[in-house]
Amino acid sequence: MGQSKFAALAAVAVVTIVTGCATSSVDVTETTSIAPATTDISGADLVSGKTQFREANYGLAEKHFRKAVELRSDNAEAWLGLAASYDQLGRFDFADRAYDQLVVVAGRRAHIVNNMGYSQLLRGNKKKARELLLEAKAGMTDTSVVDANLALMNKP
């Protein structure tokens, strides 16, 4: 009888283990997944960069525009903001690199050439500034911004 008691207890233990695994409390609640981000990941930095630039916080603007181009290197607007920030900070070597990259990304557009001309004006290079500003003016329908930049060249 001792062996049959042992066999019965073993059988009960096996059944308990097997049914315990089969009926364990697994959470079967349906969940929704988080949708992938469909927006531009550099967008927040672009917005922050523009805000800081308008408030004349050029160092902070540069930081945000730089992060935006690091996150998305084809972001022409961020490259333009970065170049303009470097101009305002007097970092013309970095501004030139940013303008070069901007031209690669967006092409040699009139508004870009206008900014390049203004950059030369800030450096005191009036001859190069005039060349670039006249090139920009030739490609624009509304030349008011370029005209204002050209007028700056005549001020002492």
Average pLDDT over the chain, rounded to an integer:
86
pLDDT in tens, 32-88: 555 555 566 789 999 999 999 999 999 999 999 999 999 999 999 999 999 999 999
Query: How far is it, in rounded angstroms, from Cα 5 to Cα 67?
Result: 74
Percent of the chain with pLDDT over 70: 74
Nearest to 116, CA basis, from 105, 100, 139, 104: 100
In the predicted structure, residue 150 carries a pLDDT above the cut 60: yes
Instruction: Give the global pTM.
Output: 0.73
In the predicted structure, residue 89 carries a pLDDT above the cut 80: yes
> What domains does the chain contain, in order, with CATH numbers?
40-107 (1.25.40.10), 109-156 (no CATH)
Tokens of 81: 């903001």
State the CB neighbour count (10 A cutoff) for residue 37. 8
CB 82 within 8 A of CB 63: no
Structure confidence at residue 42 (pLDDT): 80
